């Protein structure tokens, strides 16, 4: 790809890190599956269930981030910092990562405790 102007450079400077941030979680989940696949079928199934739950939670967070960006920018541009913060808190309050454990109800058998263990590990590593 040929960079023609300073604007192109600026777009790439913003787009490349954003793209890498979006593909990081699926790549981590793929790596988990590749490593755990050597342990056994039940372990791989547990990671598979946990991967679906984690990817759903990440997708919801990305949706909320994209959904709040324009509104927050508008409020901040108008000088309303309190309104911008209230908008973020109000929109993100319903999404809580522990609620995603309900999706495990559909899974039965050996993978469930393994998936729960993986989700607890992911929660412990997540920024608070």
Residue 43 has phi, psi (to 5 degrees) of -65, -40
Q: Which token pair is 123?
A: 């929660």
Give the whole-angstrom CA distance, residue 72 versus residue 75. Answer: 5
The region of weakest confidence among 36-40, 51-55, 66-70, 109-113 is 109-113
In this prediction, residues 112-123 reach a mean pLDDT of 70
> What whole-number percentage of the chain has pLDDT above 90?
6
Q: Among candidates 94, 89, 88, which has minimal Cα distance to 70?
A: 88
In this prediction, residues 2-16 reach a mean pLDDT of 86
What is the tens place of the pLDDT at every residue in 71-88?
888 888 888 888 777 766
CB 97 within 8 A of CB 126: yes
CB 15 within 8 A of CB 7: no
Question: pTM for the whole thing?
Answer: 0.55
CB 27 within 8 A of CB 18: no
């Amino acid at each position: 790809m040929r960079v023609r102007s300073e604007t192109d450079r600026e777009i790439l400077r913003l787009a490349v890190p954003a793209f890498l941030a979006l593909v990081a979680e699926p790549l981590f989940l793929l790596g988990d599956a590749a490593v755990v696949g050597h342990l056994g079928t039940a372990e791989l199934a547990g990671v598979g269930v946990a991967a679906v739950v984690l990817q759903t939670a990440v997708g919801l967070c990305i949706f909320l981030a994209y959904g709040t960006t324009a509104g927050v920018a508008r409020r901040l541009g108008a000088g309303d910092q309190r309104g911008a913060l209230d908008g973020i808190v109000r929109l993100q309050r319903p999404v809580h990562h522990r609620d995603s454990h309900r999706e495990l109800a559909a899974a039965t058998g050996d993978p469930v405790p393994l998936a729960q263990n993986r989700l607890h590990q992911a929660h412990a590593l997540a920024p608070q």
